Structure 1
Amino acid sequence: MSSFIEVQNAEMVFTTKKGRFHALREINLGIEKGEFIALIGHSGCGKSTLLNLIAGLTLPTSGALICDNKEIAAPGPERAVVFQNHSLLPWLTCFENVMLAVERVFGAKESKAQLKARTQAALELVNMAHAATKRPHEVSGGMKQRVGIARALAMEPKVLLMDEPFGALDALTRAKLQDELLKIVARTQSTVVMVTHDVDEAVLLSDRIVMMTNGPAATIGQILAVDLPRPRNRVELAEDPAYMHCRKEVIDFLYTRHGHVEKVAA
């Protein structure tokens, strides 16, 4: 039986002014429906490139990507992307930014009242209904990111793709949004693929952690199953032996087996 998302022997080679750059090689990955996958690795290991391939923003040089038994050949509303930069339109309110996506996906099928109800529900899901009439410059970085997540969820995507969505936020705001995301995913049963540099974030949120080898020609070095029951509580997990084991596995991979960062620091 095939997985909900399948990456089959994908290769990615970019043509640059300096010549060909081999970003990814022999990527094979199956993701099940409702699964939360974290992609982790050092800078330049192709995490975002792999995410862009799943999003359909980039097409592989060779190999194939399949979602729900259909080849991924272009971006589509069934695969919503949340970037590190919230990408909100500054002249629109928070409500209007979400409404724009809702109209794009459901505008031909639903009434204006239904579209507004969808938008309102998405803002409520991320606790941003109170800021519906504010413009992006009037809210904090964490609140902007919540609106970006609301916009993605409002499209009712089959897959939520997140490229370091909390990377630019302070530690406290990041922790709050991670906890919020855990609740949202539990409610929506979304399939999520998230790029992160944060080991604790990967262990806290995901069902499996896909660890990438160093680039160029990066590939999947190890996949770790995170066998922690849900719902997850970060305070309770802090001293959980299974949590500590997963954390150590990822750190060993990143800094021992693929640890050029530490060698440079020395």
Structure 2
Amino acid sequence: MDTDSKFIEVQNAEMTFNTRKGVFHALRDINLTVKKGEFITLIGHSGCGKSTLLNLIAGLLTATDGTLLCANREIAGPSPERAVVFQNHSLLPWLTCHENVYLAVERVFGSNESKDQLKARTRAALALVGLAHAEHKRPHEISGGMKQRVGIARALSMEPKVLLMDEPFGALDALTRAHLQDELLKIVAKTHSTVVMVTHDVDEAVLLSDRIVMMTNGPAATIGDILAVRLPRPRDRVALAEDPLYTEYRRSVLEFLYHRQAHPAKEAA
């Protein structure tokens, strides 16, 4: 098998948490491979462990059982090779956009590059997300969508092997969300990034993904199905609205989610 077909590997992963009410079994028997350059979305009802799985890949959590690999190396903790973009942009409010990104650049490349090189990396990352003009502004001076783009620029500035995104557009209004989805499509096309993204939005999943990983309901959630999205790239949301294949993919995901919601007893079977 081509090594690129196993760029990220999740093998028999389990995740439990000790709580006041006892042991909570969040994830069970998770097996997933992600190819290099692939865009994967994780979708499912609230509490199905999407973010938990993303945090396992990020190295922010350690699996109770099983193995997680990235580029044939075990994921044993956080690493700049796996950058995370959260729903909250997490910018430091007293720093400018440039300074927020520069912090990440300096952490990753500071020991090998000059300040001028680090500043050039920072400016390039901001330019990639269309924010070169706002580099000297502070977070309170820009919109919510722009803040999230700074967060994406900060992640991309580290030149990660994997971009992990936890509902990055979930708190934005519909028009801003649509604009950033389109921007993300362009950025990924330029950088050829490997992306794993958590979403609740079916249309977002179909628009962005190469494959959609559909999670069963928790507790003890697992992967219920994986849908390959064979829509050509680049993708245009207006054209796709009339595409029967897009409609079919959307229906398939909705049917899965509705079935899991309508028949939760089957999850325990």
TM-score, length basis structure 2: 0.96
1:60 maps to which of 59, 63, 68: 63
Q: Which residue of the partner structure matches residue 154 of structure 2?
A: 151
- Aligned: 1:181 with 2:184: yes
Amino acid of the residue matched to residue 136 of structure 2?
Answer: T
Deviation at 1:260, TM superposition (A): 5.9
Deviation string 1:60-112 (CA, Å, 9 cap, x unpaired) is 00001000010000000000000000000111100000000000000001111
- Aligned: 1:17 with 2:20: yes
Deviation at 1:256, TM superposition (A): 2.2
The 5 Å alignment of 1:1-266 reads 1=1, 2=3, 3-259=6-262
CA distance in 1, matches of 2:263, 2:129: 39
- Listed as ranges, the gaps of 5+ residues in structure 1 are 262-266
Q: CA RMSD in A?
A: 0.9
1:210 match: secondary structure? strand
Amino acid of the residue matched to residue 143 of structure 2?
Answer: S
1:160 match: secondary structure? strand
Q: Is contact 2:18-2:24 (8 Å) kept?
A: yes
2:33 match: secondary structure? strand
CA distance in 2, matches of 1:258, 1:72: 33
Deviation string 1:191-237 (CA, Å, 9 cap, x unpaired) is 00000000000000000000000000000000000000000000000
Deviation at 1:257, TM superposition (A): 3.8
Q: Is contact 1:210-1:220 (8 Å) kept?
A: yes
CA distance in 1, matches of 2:230, 2:261: 24
Amino acid of the residue matched to residue 92 of structure 2?
Answer: L
Q: Is contact 2:217-2:260 (8 Å) kept?
A: no
- Listed as ranges, the gaps of 5+ residues in structure 2 are 265-269
Deviation at 1:239, TM superposition (A): 1.1
2:66 match: secondary structure? strand
1:20 match: secondary structure? strand
TM-score, length basis structure 1: 0.97
Sequence identity (%): 80
2:188 match: secondary structure? helix
Instruction: Tell me which stretches of 4 or more aligned residues in structure 1 moved more than 2 Å.
Output: 256-261
